[in-house]
Amino acid sequence: MTVRLSPVILAGLLAVATPALAQTPAGGDTGGGVVRVAKPVTGQQVYEAVCQACHMADAKGGVGAGTIPALAANPRLAGAAYPISAVVLGKGGMPSLAGPLDDDQIAQVVTYIRTSFGNSYAKPVTASEVARIPHPVRGGGH
């Protein structure tokens, strides 16, 4: 038995289905319109996802509404404690990133900036070094 749909019914079905199909993003959709993005893990991924918006892709910083310090060829990065504390506690106009980033991500990104952009401070930073810096207390919400 062959079922034939009239052109009017077929057009109606397509009109209902097409918007639903167009709203479904490929991969990562949780069903409520929230799309999960992979957590940045490597220092480069963290830098690109979090830091480069202000410090720029070349890490040379910038001047505009404020002054964003350069990370490129920066002798202040020689000691790991300085960049770790800047990321954990914030500095100047930069907020603390200890909430959005975990200690391992902070260690990875500090190691990345200390070994990239003309910096050659090769000793890797560890999550335990980051944990030694007292982290800011976050508000508890409602």
Q: What letter does residue 64 receive in the DSSP assignment? A: S
Per-residue confidence in pLDDT tens, the chain, 142 aa:
544 545 544 444 444 444 443 444 445 556 677 877 788 889 999 999 999 999 999 999 999 888 999 999 999 999 999 999 999 999 999 999 999 999 999 999 999 999 999 999 999 999 999 999 999 987 655 5
Tokens standing for 140? Answer: 């508890």
Nearest-angstrom CA–CA distance, 118 and 43: 16
What's the pLDDT score for residue 35? Answer: 76
Which phi and psi (to 5°) does residue 81 adopt? -60, -35
Quickly list H helices, 1-142: 7-22, 43-46, 52-55, 81-89, 103-114, 127-131
pTM to 2 decimal places: 0.72
- List, in order of start, the domains of the chain with CATH numbers: 43-131 (1.10.760.10)
Contacts of 30 (CB under 8 A, 6+ apart): 36
